[in-house]
Structure 1
Amino acid sequence: MLDIAEELNRWFEEGRDFAVATVVAVDGSAPRGPGAALAVDGHGTAIGSVSGGCVEGAVYDLCVQALQDGRTVRERFGYGDEDAFAVGLTCGGVLDVLVTPVRGDAPVLRAGVSAAVRGETSALVRVARGPDELLGGALLVHPDGSYEGSLDGDPELDRTAAAEARALLDTGRTGSVELAEDGSRCPDGVTVFVESKVPPPRLIVFGAVDFATALVRVGKFLGYHVTVCDARPVFTTRLRFPEADDLVVDWPHRYLRRTVTDERTVLCVLTHDAKFDVPLLEAALRLPVAYVGAMGSRRTHDDRERRLREAGLTRGELDRLRSPIGLDLGARTPEETALSIAAEIVAARRAGTGLPLTGSGTPIHPDADGRKERDDRSRAAA
Structure 2
Amino acid sequence: MPSYASKECDFPAIFNLGDSNSDTGALAAAFNWTPPPYGETFFHKPVGRFSDGRLIIDFIARSLGLPFLSAYLNSLGTNFTNGANFASAAATIGPPEYIIPVGGFSPFYLDVQYWQLKQFIYRSQILKKQGGVYGDLMPMKEYFSKALYTMDIGQNDLGQGFSSNRSIEEVNASVPDIVNSFSTHVKNIYGLGARTFWIHNTGPIGCLAYIFVNFPPNADQMDSAGCAKPYNEVAQYFNYKLKKAIVQLRKDLPLAALTYVDIYSAKYSLFLEPEKYGFELPLVTCCGLGGEYNYGNGDCGTTVTVNGSQIFIGACKNPSTRIVWDGIHYTEAANKIIFDKISTGAFSDPPIPLKMACHSSPDKKQID
> Is the shorter-chain TM-score for this pair beyond 0.5, marking a shared fold?
no
Where is the strand percentage greater, Structure 1 or Structure 2? 1
Greater radius of gyration (CA): 1
Q: Which has the higher contact order (CA 8 A, sep 6+)?
A: 2
Where is the helix percentage greater, Structure 1 or Structure 2? 2
